[in-house]
């Protein structure tokens, strides 16, 4: 039986950790690709990860390269190419440089891995997923952004710290764009089925919500660059759902038109927004629609409008992406 194949574009902090985790979980053979100037880094990381195999006991090949021909036949391509944040920068500040990078990566994916499902990680996420969709012309169900998996993990971790309970027992939901205006939903958050509002005060829940929103920035301030362990963990959770066809419901940036009132009735004019998605081997197999209160809807609308503004910036830079 052929082993699945996952290619990772960008062999930096997130790309390297994704490669290690995918190999360790024996999800797929991995190709780690970077620009020619960084091919040594891609090859070195690949070799280092491969040498973990006898200790960690996995059978998966890991290949470092700068040649896009090596991504042919990939089931999933993960895109982590681009520059990360520095202290004082927002994700949106990266739009100028990362749009050009993601555009060139997308052109190569279209050429060399035309049947792949693409998970975009590069920031500003919601705009970069849109760029990938426009450049590849792939069905929107095959283009997904990683954001909610990470944001929910942060929210769950901060709640668990307050509760002194296992994170495993906390399930939570968080929607909207991958920015400081993301929309955590305490009403859909529970601990082993017990609504979170019965366990923590509104003030403490709000504290966790705020920390989840700026959790990425907190780490940038500490390290001088953006996080990679949890972003990779979130990405690999999505890769696993797809490769193993698990039909997991994971909040992800998915293409919405009528869904969540993003662009009702405007065919082809939708946006990629964080929504609960069923992820399986066809990519986004379903977007789950939830009933929101007026307050929640207002926050979601504001977040969608922020994503729309970001995409407008991209369209001004590259009119062909309108
Ligand atoms: N093709 C392939 N790789 C590229 C390209 C390109 N055109 N341009 C840049 N890269 C590579 C860089 O050479 C670098 O190795 O992308 C890698 C990015 O790695 P890091 O700088 O370590 O950044 P990382 O922390 O991994 O974040 C990557 O994900 O979450 C986002 O905001 C983050 O946009 C950033 C991206």
What is the reported pLDDT for 285? 98
Q: Of 145, 167, 192, which residue sits at a domain end?
A: 145
Percent of the chain with pLDDT over 90: 90
Tell me: pLDDT of 200 over 90.
yes
Residues 13 and 96 in one domain: yes
- Give the N- to C-terminal CA distance of the chain in Å, as an integer: 42
State the closest ligand 1 atom to the C-alpha of 16, by its place in the atom list counted from 1: 26
Burial environment of residue 319 by CB neighbours within 10 A (0 to 12, 13 to 18, 19 or more): exposed
pLDDT tens, 235-245?
999 999 999 99
Average pLDDT value for residue range 66-83: 98
Residues 205 and 314 in one domain: yes
Q: Of 102, 128, 145, which residue sits at a domain end?
A: 145
Residues 277 and 162 in one domain: yes
Task: Tell me if 78 CB under 6 Å of ligand 1.
Answer: no
Residues 63 and 108 in one domain: yes
Residues 307 and 213 in one domain: yes
Q: Are 37 and 11 in contact (CB under 8 A)?
A: no
What is the reported pLDDT for 139? 98
Q: Of 145, 166, 196, which residue sits at a domain end?
A: 145
The encoded tokens of residue 319 equal: 């009119």
User: Separation of 251 CA from ligand 1 center, angstroms?
Assistant: 23
User: Separation of 13 CA from ligand 1 center, angstroms?
Assistant: 8
pLDDT tens, 27-73?
999 999 999 999 999 999 999 999 999 999 999 999 999 999 999 99
Mean pLDDT of the residues in the chain = 95
User: Separation of 32 CA from ligand 1 center, angstroms?
Assistant: 12
Q: From CA 102, how far away is CA 122, in angstroms rounded?
A: 8
What is the reported pLDDT for 182? 86
Inter-CA distances, 195 with 11, 165, 169, 173, 299, Å: 41, 14, 12, 12, 21
pLDDT tens, 282-301?
999 999 999 999 999 999 99
Could you give the number of structural domains in the chain?
Answer: 2
Q: From CA 273, how far away is CA 70, in angstroms rounded?
A: 31
Residues 47 and 196 in one domain: no
Which range marks the domain in which residue 263 is found?
A: 149-322
Residues 91 and 157 in one domain: no
Tell me: pLDDT of 1 over 80.
no
The encoded tokens of residue 159 equal: 């709640």
The encoded tokens of residue 257 equal: 């038109």
Q: Which of 9, 10, 41 to mutate to test the pocket of ligand 1 (most atoms within 8 A of CB)?
A: 10
Residues 45 and 190 in one domain: no
Protein residue with least CA distance to atom 28, ligand 1:
80
| DSSP H/E element including 280 | strand 271-280
Query: What is the DSSP code (8-state) at residue 76?
Result: E
pLDDT tens, 20-32?
999 999 999 999 9
pLDDT bin (cut points 50, 70, 90) of residue 177 is confident
Burial environment of residue 303 by CB neighbours within 10 A (0 to 12, 13 to 18, 19 or more): buried
User: Separation of 121 CA from ligand 1 center, angstroms?
Assistant: 9
What is the reported pLDDT for 179? 74
Residues 60 and 77 in one domain: yes
Q: Which of 80, 95, 126, 238 to mutate to test the pocket of ligand 1 (most atoms within 8 A of CB)?
A: 80
pLDDT bin (cut points 50, 70, 90) of residue 84 is confident
User: Separation of 178 CA from ligand 1 center, angstroms?
Assistant: 17
**Sign of the dihedral defined by the CA atoms of residues 101, 104, 107, 108, in that order:** negative
State the closest ligand 1 atom to the C-alpha of 91, by its place in the atom list counted from 1: 32
In a 3-state reduction of DSSP, which class is residue 8? strand
Tell me: pLDDT of 2 over 90.
no
pLDDT tens, 228-286?
999 999 999 999 999 999 999 999 999 999 999 999 999 999 999 999 999 999 999 99
Task: Tell me if 125 CB under 6 Å of ligand 1.
Answer: no
Least confident of 88-102, 120-134, 191-205: 88-102
What is the reported pLDDT for 250? 97
Q: Are 106 and 81 in contact (CB under 8 A)?
A: no
Q: From CA 228, how far away is CA 150, in angstroms rounded?
A: 10
Residues 133 and 161 in one domain: no
Task: Tell me if 12 CB under 6 Å of ligand 1.
Answer: yes
Task: Tell me if 101 CB under 6 Å of ligand 1.
Answer: yes
Least confident of 10-14, 15-19, 173-177, 187-191: 173-177
Q: What is the CATH number of the domain that holds 302?
A: 3.90.110.10
Residues 192 and 274 in one domain: yes
Q: Which of 84, 219, 310 to mutate to test the pocket of ligand 1 (most atoms within 8 A of CB)?
A: 84
What are the b/e assignments for 104-137, b being 16+ CB within 10 Å? ebbebbbebbeebbbbbbbbbbbbbbbbbbbbbe
| DSSP H/E element including 183 | strand 183-184
What is the reported pLDDT for 269? 93
Task: Tell me if 11 CB under 6 Å of ligand 1.
Answer: yes
Q: What is the CATH number of the domain that holds 110?
A: 3.40.50.720
Residues 123 and 93 in one domain: yes
């Amino acid at each position: 039986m052929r082993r699945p194949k996952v290619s990772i574009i960008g062999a930096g902090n997130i790309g390297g950790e994704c490669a290690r985790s995918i190999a360790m979980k024996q999800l797929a053979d991995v190709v780690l690709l970077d620009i020619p100037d960084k091919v040594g880094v891609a090859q070195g990381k690949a070799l280092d990860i491969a040498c973990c195999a006898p200790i960690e006991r996995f059978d998966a090949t890991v290949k470092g390269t700068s040649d896009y021909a090596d991504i042919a036949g990939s089931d999933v391509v993960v895109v982590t190419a681009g520059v990360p944040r520095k202290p004082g920068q927002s994700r949106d500040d990266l739009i100028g440089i990362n749009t050009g990078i993601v555009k060139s990566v997308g052109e190569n994916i279209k050429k060399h891995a035309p049947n792949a499902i693409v998970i975009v990680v590069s920031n500003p996420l919601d705009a970069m997923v849109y760029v990938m969709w426009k450049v590849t012309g792939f069905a929107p169900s095959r283009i997904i952004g990683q954001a909610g998996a990470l944001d929910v993990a942060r929210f769950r971790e901060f709640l668990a710290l307050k509760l002194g309970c296992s994170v495993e027992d906390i399930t939570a939901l968080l929607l909207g764009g991958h920015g400081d205006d993301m929309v955590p939903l305490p009403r859909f958050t529970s601990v082993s089925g017990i609504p979170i509002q019965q366990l923590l005060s509104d003030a403490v829940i709000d504290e966790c919500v705020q920390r989840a929103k700026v959790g990425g920035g907190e780490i940038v301030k500490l390290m001088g660059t953006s996080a990679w362990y949890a972003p990779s963990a979130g990405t690999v959770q999505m890769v696993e759902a797809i490769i193993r066809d698990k039909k997991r419901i994971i909040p992800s940036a998915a293409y919405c038109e009528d869904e969540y009132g993003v662009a009702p009735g405007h065919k082809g004019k939708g946006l990629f927004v964080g929504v609960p998605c069923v992820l399986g081997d066809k990519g986004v197999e379903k977007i789950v629609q939830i009933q929101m209160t007026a307050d929640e809807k207002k926050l979601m609308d504001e977040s969608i409008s922020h994503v729309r503004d970001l995409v407008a910036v991209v369209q001004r830079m590259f009119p062909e992406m309108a």
